[in-house]
Amino acid sequence: MGLIVLAFLTFTLSSCTYTLKSLVLSTQNYENLSQRDREVVEDFVEETNLEPPDERELMPYIRYYLNRKKYLLKVLERAKRFMPVVKEELRRCGLPEDLAYLPVIESAYNPYAISKHGAVGLWQFKEETARRFGLRVDFFTDERYDVRKSTRAACRYLKYLYKLFGSWELALAAYNCGEGCVMRRVRGNFWEERHKLPEETRKYVVKFIALLIVVKNHLHYEP
């Protein structure tokens, strides 16, 4: 059984330093993934200290995206216009650049997207959260539609969530369903307690990692 050991890493996020623990990825759990697919998972785990999901959970979402290549390529083509700004802001905040693919799930990279729940823009902010993280939302102006300003707010929000929960699994879950929901329902490890979260949130992290695999390896996307 081959083991891939990911070394200790340290990076600075604003004034706080985050130490990434040593992680072990068992290749036994990824025997049906290609080497290149495993490397995408490993790179993301190394960058975020996120506990890797089981291959059995990843495969259905990999197939889901591969079966929708035409749609996904259309979304990624639209993303090219905005991706440089998004990655620039993520780098400026010291956040993992792969988070630039979250809007693929959130809004299909449409800055004018409006959800049935009233979330708006690339990052799908609701009014209250948008105002909390510095966006102007009133009768005259709605900065949720502004790509750069909303991305800066999303970076502040993601940074806040990571500092609050101390893990990217819980931070991403909280981005999906709100920090209050996660705080009320999860007391420890995301993977062990995610059954307590809404169904969409339970799948969110796995779906995101599957998206990275498809975009980077199967579509060879270069923004």
Give the pLDDT confidence score for residue 29 in this predicted structure. 57
Residue 207: φ, ψ to 5°: -60, -40
* CA 104/CA 208 separation, integer angstroms: 9
Buried b (16+ CB within 10 A) or exposed e, 151-177: bbbbbbbbbebbeebebbbbbbbbbbb
> Which amino acid type is present at position 59?
M
* Contact residues for 136 (Cβ-Cβ < 8 A; gap 6+): 142, 143
Are 171 and 158 in contact by the 8 Å Cβ rule? The answer is yes
* CA 178/CA 173 separation, integer angstroms: 8
The CATH architecture to which 3-218 belongs is: Orthogonal Bundle (1.10)
**DSSP classification of residue 80:** T
pLDDT in tens, the chain (223 residues): 333 323 322 333 333 333 232 233 443 356 777 888 888 888 888 877 777 788 888 889 999 999 999 999 999 999 999 999 999 999 999 999 999 999 999 999 999 999 999 999 999 999 999 999 999 999 999 999 999 999 999 999 999 999 999 999 999 999 999 999 999 999 888 889 989 999 999 999 899 989 998 998 888 776 6
* CA-wise closest residue to 199 among 173, 166, 180, 162: 173
* CA 147/CA 149 separation, integer angstroms: 6
Give the pLDDT confidence score for residue 56 in this predicted structure. 85
Are 161 and 175 in contact by the 8 Å Cβ rule? The answer is yes
Q: Is 143 a catalytic residue?
A: no
- Going by their DSSP bridges, the two strands 3-6 and 23-26 should be labelled as antiparallel
* CA 46/CA 9 separation, integer angstroms: 8
Give the pLDDT confidence score for residue 120 in this predicted structure. 97
* CA 27/CA 6 separation, integer angstroms: 13
Q: Which of 47, 55, 89, 106 is catalytic?
A: 106
> Domain boundaries in the chain?
3-218
